[in-house]
Amino acid sequence: MRAGLKTCAPLAALAVVAGLIMAAQASAGDPPEWSTPVKPFKIAGNVYYVGTMGLAAYLIVSNQGAILLDGTTAENARLIERNIEAVGIPLHSVKRLISDHAHQDHVGALAHIKRDTGAEFLASAGDRWALEHGRVRGDTNYRPKPFAPIKVDRVVRDGDIIELGDVAVTVHLTPGHTPGCTSWSTTVQDRGRQLNVLFLCSITVAGNILVGNHAYPQIASDYRATFRKLAAMKADIVLPSHPDIADVIEREARRDAGETNAFIDPQLLPSLVAESSAAFETALAAAR
Ligand SMILES: [Zn+2]
């Protein structure tokens, strides 16, 4: 028995060390701005920003409840819920949940928010497995964090129109970053103008294996098809899941300072697509 204890001791010590290393990795993991609160604000028409400094969550409000796009990380769940309430929407009025793509920084909080709101969760077939297993599908050069699985209540297809009250949101499958990466669009009426709003799924390579990806073999051709598709689209306002990509927080500050049209930028989509497409081709060439 003593001998057993003796042989266990080094293992126990190792376990403690491993635990400490894991704790250090967890706290050092996510960028701090991902959980830094910002005051929620209206972007245009019935579209609100309810995310954090570094991760977006968008609320599209209709006359019969609201649609929430993304929940950000698990640790932010209550923060996002408070932001929704702060723009005047009770949680039980959130009727639909949708997401950008199945990575923990965008969908980590959705299982929690789904429980609290009772909302229906809509997602593409390409990300369904990942969402329902809480694990990234596709080979990456980093170890993706798992997240709480979220049951998909309804699978959406390219071109589907999601209706809620007086709001209609169109589904645009834009795979590559994940197999089911989904962009969404809607039109808003803002101060007498009609504006096209595109909620753009991530189009960065971001650690994805582009050549020899066993879990996602068609990744490279998907990226290219997505770039072609997005290059043919028009948007007055582009709202990505990482707000810094479109300077969402800065644009709000500019508008606050008097620049009324700070969010309207029809050149943003073509320039983001050109930039990301070039970066993708460079990464693909390097991977070959
Ligand atoms: Zn991602």
Q: Which two tokens stand for residue 96?
A: 């639909």
> To the nearest whole number, what is the mean pLDDT of the chain?
91
Q: 252: CA distance to ligand 1 center in Å?
A: 24
Does pLDDT of 190 surpass 70?
Answer: yes
Q: 204: CA distance to ligand 1 center in Å?
A: 8
Q: 76: CA distance to ligand 1 center in Å?
A: 17
Mean pLDDT across the stretch 50-61?
98
Q: 182: CA distance to ligand 1 center in Å?
A: 11
Q: 202: CA distance to ligand 1 center in Å?
A: 6
Q: 194: CA distance to ligand 1 center in Å?
A: 30
Question: Looking at domain 11-287, does it have CATH number 2.60.120.10?
Answer: no
Mean pLDDT across the stretch 166-178?
98
Buried b (16+ CB within 10 A) or exposed e, 68-101: bbbbbbbebbebbbebbeebebebebbbbbbbbb
Q: Where are the domains of the chain?
A: 11-287
Q: 19: CA distance to ligand 1 center in Å?
A: 27
Q: In this prediction, what percent of the chain has a pLDDT beyond 70? A: 90
Q: 98: CA distance to ligand 1 center in Å?
A: 15
CB-count exposure of residue 195 (10 Å: 0-12, 13-18, 19+): buried
CB-count exposure of residue 21 (10 Å: 0-12, 13-18, 19+): exposed
Per residue in 99-137, pLDDT (tens digit) is 999 999 999 999 999 999 999 999 999 999 999 999 998
Per residue in 127-146, pLDDT (tens digit) is 999 999 999 988 999 989 99
Q: 100: CA distance to ligand 1 center in Å?
A: 8
Q: 5: CA distance to ligand 1 center in Å?
A: 45
Specify the higher pLDDT residue, 237 or 18.
237
Per residue in 224-279, pLDDT (tens digit) is 999 999 999 999 999 999 999 999 999 999 999 999 999 999 999 999 999 999 99
Q: In this prediction, what percent of the chain has a pLDDT beyond 90? A: 88
CB 130 within 8 A of CB 137: yes
What whole-number distance in Å separates Cα of residue 287 and Cα of residue 206?
Answer: 13
For residue 272, the Cα-to-chain-centroid distance in whole angstroms is 17
Specify the pLDDT at position 138.
Answer: 87
Q: 20: CA distance to ligand 1 center in Å?
A: 27
Mean pLDDT across the stretch 75-93?
98
Q: Which two tokens stand for residue 235?
A: 């948007």
Q: 181: CA distance to ligand 1 center in Å?
A: 9
Positive or negative torsion for Cα 272, 277, 279, 283: positive
Give the Å distances, CA to CA, from 13 to 18, 19, 21, 26, 27: 9, 10, 12, 20, 21
Mean pLDDT across the stretch 50-62?
98
Q: 13: CA distance to ligand 1 center in Å?
A: 36
